[in-house]
Structure 1
Amino acid sequence: MTLALFALAVAAVAVPSCRVMVIERHAGEFVSAQDTETVPCARTIPPSRLRLDPVTQQAMARVDLQPGDELGPVHFIDRPIVMPGDRVAVMARIGHAMVQRSATALQSARKGERFFVRADDGAVFVAPAIGLHHD
Structure 2
Amino acid sequence: MITRFTDIINGLKGFDQKFTNGELVSKMLRSLSEDWNSLRMLIENIKDVNTYPLEELYGTLMTYELNNAEIKEKTRRSKEEMKEPPKSQIALKSTNDERSFNTNMSDEELDDLVLLVKKWRGIQNNR
Per the normalisation by structure 2, the TM-score is 0.19
More helix by share: 2
Bigger relative contact order (CA 8 A; separation at least 6): 2
Give the greater-gyration-radius structure (CA): 2
More strand as a share of residues: 1
